[in-house]
Amino acid sequence: MAVATKPDRTEAASGTSKETMLQEKVIGTAPAQAGGTAPSTAGRSPVLLDLGTLFLRGAEMISVAVTAWISAAISLDFIPAGKESSYSNAALIAALFYAALAEVTGCYDIDTRFSVRTGWARVMTAWLSTGMFMMTLGFLLKVSNDFSRGWAIAWFAVGGGVLLALRAGGTAWMQRLKRRGVFNHRVAIFGAGSQGDRLAKYILGNEKLTIDLVGFFDDRLPERLPERDVHLPLYGNLTDLIGHIRKGLVDQVIVALPWSAEKRLQEVVAELAITPVRIRLAPDLATFAFSQRPVVLLGDLPVMTLFERPISGFDQIIKKIEDMIVGALALVLLSPLLLVVALAIKLDSPGPIFFRQDREGFNNQRFRIWKFRSMRTDQCEVDGITQARKDDDRITRVGRILRRTSIDELPQLFNVLAGEMSLVGPRPHAPSTKAGERLFSDVVDHYAARHKVKPGMTGWAQVHGWRGETDTEEKLLKRLEHDLYYIENWSVLLDFYIMARTAMTLVFQKTAY
């Protein structure tokens, strides 16, 4: 462990040792910056970040009004007499509405201040919404004929271009100041154990943060502290920390003590509460494993959302309606084909027309899937499933055609209408199906994650060629990867895209036997 100038505990407690004084001198000249460099504190002014954002707000709002007049000069030889006030009012209303909408859409949130791409996306969302609002307002007030359409189009184009240019320039300016450490707050971590070490590692590895890490403070003797991965100075105890705050060397303190040490936490916070700096509580060790998860308020109590149920709420209703309407239409339109296939199966080989088999569906619940029988009756497997292979002698002559074209899957429309399946989703597998020599659930620990939604007749994996026999574990992993992508990115348009591609893929696919 690299610990800079360890203080003697007796002298550190009194705050009068030469070594402690040396540390205070060092801490004021070369704090560690998030990102790994050590900038000078000269010219530091964290408030500039808020001032810069305020300036950007004003510049964008003013630009909306100014570009209205620039567009008038470009598109009009003159503004009709008596209409000057109408054009001015339109420019003012648009500027005010854009300013309000930009706040709502998060155009000035912390994650947009240093990212041109994120900033542009939100600025254009606000500007497009402003344009739609102005057109709607003109229609409702019956004044749209009072304005030139050429002017409106020019204003929309010029205004959007100027807003993007302003955002790019403002972001570049703030990125430059950030690299110089102008916005950075000097942060001390109280607690030099594993929790503090992990917090420091997170801060140093996050380039978006405007933080200079001062170092660690802890009441424990250095020899009682665990080894740390982050090489930051250890500057003493709580008394020393308060001394540094009094000298103006610390802007913020993050307390990194185990949450189970409630009494000690309260004592430390009570001592620090009398100082004029921001005090924050670091997450407990277990929380670092879920650092990307959102925190919401349950009443007044903050709780962390670890996982949301996918395709829930209104989306669930939309997908249900999609399944019922499209599924019913498909069943009606395909009914002649289903009758012909049923007759062909009956004439080709003895046995039932349909084949029923247990599959795992939503929430790992089992259901019986409908399929046209494509194998000889004495070769149909209900348990201990062996996936069909190329030139499988169990498959009948008609069954080979049905499997090649996936027509044998069409009776699953009954499962869709019964609410057991969806038109699009991860394909359901029999519980005993294996990849290579191992069960699917043994190959991948989080295989059951694909059961968070209803299984589908087709899916994202199938249209990308990951269908048919999973004779290797790699094929299963690829199929799971695509299934999870679908679950995380579901939309109605994606469903229709998959259904359209399925129809095309079935003509050329070569992996179903």
Q: What is the pLDDT of residues 472-491, one digit of tens each?
A: 667 777 888 888 888 888 99
Q: How is the chain split into domains, by residue range?
A: 9-35+184-282, 47-179, 314-508
Those residues whose C-beta lies under 8 Å from the C-beta of residue 99, and which sit 6 or more positions away, are 57, 60, 61, 64
Q: What is the mean pLDDT of residues 388-415?
A: 83
The reported pLDDT for the residue numbered 9 is 35
Structure tokens belonging to residue 95 = 């500027």
Q: Which has more confidence, 461 or 512? A: 461
* Closest alpha carbon to 282 in 197, 213, 184, 181: 197
Distance CA 174, CA 377 (A): 72
Structure tokens belonging to residue 377 = 């009756």
To the nearest 10 degrees (0 to 180), the angle between helices 116-140 and 84-104 is 130
In the beta sheet, which residues pair with residue 358? 368
* Closest alpha carbon to 87 in 108, 104, 72, 107: 72
**Locus of tokens 């003013």:** 62
Q: Give the pLDDT band of residue 300 (cuts 50, 70, 90).
A: confident
Q: What is the mean pLDDT of residues 326-353?
A: 92
Q: Give the pLDDT band of residue 31 (cuts 50, 70, 90).
A: very low
* Closest alpha carbon to 211 in 220, 222, 201, 225: 201
Q: Give the pLDDT band of residue 326 (cuts 50, 70, 90).
A: very high
Mean pLDDT of the chain: 80
Distance CA 114, CA 118 (A): 9
To the nearest 10 degrees (0 to 180), the angle between helices 149-179 and 116-140 is 150
With vertex at residue 265, the alpha carbon angle to CA 261 and CA 267, rounded to the nearest 5 degrees, is 125
Q: What is the mean pLDDT of residues 275-283?
A: 89
Q: What is the mean pLDDT of residues 347-364?
A: 86
Structure tokens belonging to residue 441 = 């659930």
Asked if residue 373 lies in contact with residue 399, where contact means CB atoms within 8 angstroms, the answer is yes
Q: Give the pLDDT band of residue 440 (cuts 50, 70, 90).
A: low
Distance CA 241, CA 403 (A): 73
The reported pLDDT for the residue numbered 4 is 40
Which has the minimum average pLDDT: 77-81, 359-363, 398-402, 484-488? 77-81
pLDDT beyond 70 at 39: no
Q: What is the mean pLDDT of residues 171-200?
A: 88
pLDDT beyond 50 at 412: yes
Q: What is the mean pLDDT of residues 369-382?
A: 77
Buried b (16+ CB within 10 A) or exposed e, 287-308: eeeeeeeeeeeeeeeeeeeeee
Those residues whose C-beta lies under 8 Å from the C-beta of residue 272, and which sit 6 or more positions away, are 190, 238, 241, 242, 245, 253, 255, 279
* Closest alpha carbon to 496 in 394, 424, 420, 435: 424
Q: What is the pLDDT of residues 214-239, one digit of tens each?
A: 999 998 888 888 888 888 899 989 99
* Closest alpha carbon to 197 in 2, 41, 48: 2
The segment with the largest mean pLDDT, out of 51-55, 84-88, 145-149, 378-382, is: 51-55
The reported pLDDT for the residue numbered 139 is 87
Those residues whose C-beta lies under 8 Å from the C-beta of residue 276, and which sit 6 or more positions away, are 245
pLDDT beyond 90 at 411: yes
Distance CA 96, CA 65 (A): 9
Across the chain, how many H-helices and E-strands are there? 16, 13
pLDDT beyond 70 at 433: no
Q: Give the pLDDT band of residue 285 (cuts 50, 70, 90).
A: confident
pTM: predicted TM-score of the whole model, two decimal places: 0.52
Which has the minimum average pLDDT: 137-151, 262-276, 436-450? 436-450
Q: What is the pLDDT of residues 132-182, one digit of tens each?
A: 999 999 888 888 888 888 889 999 999 999 999 999 999 998 888 888 878
Range list of H helices, 291-360? 314-348
The reported pLDDT for the residue numbered 469 is 62
Q: What is the mean pLDDT of residues 261-265?
A: 88
The segment with the largest mean pLDDT, out of 18-27, 251-260, 412-421, is: 412-421
Specify the CATH architecture of the domain 9-35+184-282: 3-Layer(aba) Sandwich (3.40)
pLDDT beyond 50 at 202: yes
The reported pLDDT for the residue numbered 34 is 47
Those residues whose C-beta lies under 8 Å from the C-beta of residue 86, and which sit 6 or more positions away, are 143, 146, 147
